[in-house]
Amino acid sequence: MAATAHPALTPAIRRKARVGLVAGGLGTYWPQFPDLLPQLQESSRYVSERFEEMDAEVTDVGFISDAQEGARAAETLRRADCDLIVLFLTTYLTSSMVLPIAQRSNAPVLVIDLQPTERMDHATFDTGQWLAYCGQCPVPEVGNVFRRAGIEFRSVSGWLRQESAWRRIERWVNAAQVRAALRHARHGLMGHVYPGMLDVSTDLTLLPVSFGSHVEVLEFDDLRVRVEKVTDAETEARMDLAQEVFTLDDSVVDADFAWGARVSVGLDRLVEDFELDSLAYYHRGLDGEQHERLGAGMILGASLLTARGVPTTGEYELRTSVAQLATQVVGAGGSFCEIQALDFEDGVVEMGHDGPAHLAVSARDPLLRGLGVYHGKRGWGVSVEFDVQHGPVTLLGLGQDADGSLSFIASEGTVVPGPLLEIGNTTSRVDFARDPGEWVDEWSATGVGHHWSLSIGHRAGDYRAAASLLGIDYRQV
């Protein structure tokens, strides 16, 4: 189930994944077995209809029967700028028919072969009827040629109305959503790196080179000038919205609440003006001056933006905001997270974070709590507190290795009930079905870094597929 935020928060709209679809079989068969092509075309129509029902833009180039038609399909799909191309092998075809599609389209490819039913009727089938069940026959051939051509091979084999096969196919479409989001994302980076956190530092060229994303470097003055233009009426309206979304704790100071609301309106304008898909920020400041107050006033607005699908993350955590965007676009939410403590009696890892939170993963109405101090940071104000929904969750972090290469790093667990801190943090108790200390050791050895995205559901399969389409390493604990 997709994680959803409060109905009063308008979700961000971004480019859908573009999926190219082509079906094919060997044209030599058509005059030999006149009933075969109509049957395969009917299967192709069913597959096309299933893809049209998915949340993607589908370019269906129809049915190919020879290498010339394959080359023409390749050109159409190249122009479509696809995030994923799906080759439906309806019966045997030659690898020469599909290799140009994979080579020229500049997009990752998924091969699917879905025979008409669970099994043949061996007693009555002739050769023509058997050939409708022969889509698996060329799969090894295509896999071999792709490997020799340096093209990553992916496939889903099954039968036409097998829902488990369609779930596997949909996983690749979800992965295409991640590839589409990261290919075209504009990531904001505002302020400066949190002093001393060497793991947070990210080469800004990595995202354009690895994914095609853009990194927009912002100053806190870009926010300051927008906050200065926010009216009292706009501030009051934002406070009304916040009171609809949050429960206000008695510790909230009215002036701090109003300041957070004013900054929230300015943040919205900043995101709109720079067309941002994510924002990572940090500013230390000093002695209560304006920039320190801006940095301390971000949490309300950042949480509202994150709930709308624009991850807005503290501590200058660009890579984590990218991971949050990935978990967001597959419908799993994704809240800023770190390890808080271990409970060896209950066998759980306690994790969460102060600052911005994803309201869609909350188990209850989120709370605004007033804090006189932000631990390890300057300033004061309101913070968001809630416990995460009980049930399956998946962590996703974006790691970086010595050679600069990026990786998706994931771990599946279950949020379980138990005592939680009440200190203005998002908190959860995650059971990984193993000794929590051993889990921390293995998780830390992956190169994941200090923070990650906590998303709803067991989605490691989606993230593994997304890493494949993005061409980066995948590691799972």
The residue among 403 and 476 whose pLDDT is bigger is 476
Q: What is the biggest distance separating any 2 CA atoms in the chain, rounded to whole angstroms? A: 86
Q: What's the pLDDT tens digit per position in 65-79?
A: 999 999 999 999 999
pTM for this one? 0.90
Q: What does the block give as tokens for 240?
A: 């009304």
Closest by CA to 179, choosing from 399, 471, 378, 466, is 466
What's the rounded mean pLDDT across residues 236-252? 87
CA dist 239 and 136 (Å) reads 59
φ/ψ of 172, rounded to 5, equals -70, -35
Angle between helices 220-228 and 254-273 (to 10 degrees): 110
Instruction: Tell me the CATH number for domain 18-182.
Output: 3.40.50.10940
CB neighbours of residue 317 within 10 Å: 30
353 in Cβ contact with 425 (< 8 Å): yes
Coil/strand/helix, residue 3: coil
pLDDT tens-digit series, residues 180-201: 999 999 999 999 888 878 777 8
The CA distances from residue 377 to 9, 102, 268, 302, 355, in Å, are: 29, 50, 23, 16, 11
Residue 320 C-beta-side C-alpha neighbours within 13 Å: 29
In this chain, the answer to whether the domains covering 18-182 and 185-476 adopt an identical fold is no
| Residue 376: pLDDT over 80 | no
- Of 80-94, 160-174, 294-308, which gets the smallest average pLDDT? 294-308
Q: Given this model, what pLDDT does residue 1 score?
A: 40
Q: Which amino acid is present at 44?
A: S
Spans of all domains in the chain: 18-182, 185-476
Amino acid at 251: S
Angle at which helix 299-307 crosses helix 254-273, to 10 degrees, equals 50
Residues 246-264: pLDDT tens digits?
Answer: 888 788 888 888 999 999 9
Q: What is the pLDDT of residues 447-463, one digit of tens each?
A: 998 889 999 999 999 99
Q: Give every CB contact of residue 409 below 8 A, 6+ residues apart in sequence.
A: 395, 396, 397, 398, 399, 443, 446, 447, 448, 452, 474, 475, 476, 477
β-bridge mates for residue 282, sequence order? 191
Using DSSP bridges, classify how beta strands 348-354 and 425-431 pair: parallel, antiparallel or unpaired: antiparallel
pLDDT of residue 11: 83
pLDDT value for 471: 94
Tokens of 317: 């955590």
In this prediction, residue 134 carries a pLDDT of 93
The two tokens of residue 401 are 């290795």
Least confident of 119-128, 290-299, 314-323: 290-299
Q: What is the mean pLDDT of the chain?
A: 90
Instruction: Give the mean model confidence (pLDDT) for residues 112-127.
Output: 93
**Which of the following CATH numbers is that of domain 185-476: 3.20.14, 3.30.70, 3.40.630, 3.30.450?**
3.20.14
CB atoms closer than 10 angstroms to residue 247: 14
Q: What is the mean pLDDT of residues 399-415?
A: 93
* Cβ atoms within 10 Å of 122's Cβ, excluding its own: 7
* SS3 per-residue string spanning 119-153: CCCCCCCCHHHHHCCCCCCCHHHHHHHHHHHCCCC
**pLDDT exceeds cutoff 60 at 115:** yes
What confidence score (pLDDT) does residue 177 get?
Answer: 95
Residue 433: count of CB within 10 angstroms of its CB: 9
**2 confidence band (pLDDT: 50, 70, 90):** low
Contacts of 428 (CB under 8 A, 6+ apart): 350, 351, 352, 387, 388, 393, 415, 420, 454
Distances (CA, A) of 328 to 170, 270, 324: 16, 20, 6
Q: What is the mean pLDDT of residues 129-156?
A: 95
If DSSP codes are grouped into helix, strand and coil, which group holds residue 189? Answer: strand
Q: Tokens 């995101």, residue?
A: 271
**Taking Cα atoms as reference points, which of 129, 126, 5, 152 lies closest to residue 464?**
152
What does the block give as tokens for 33? 């077995």
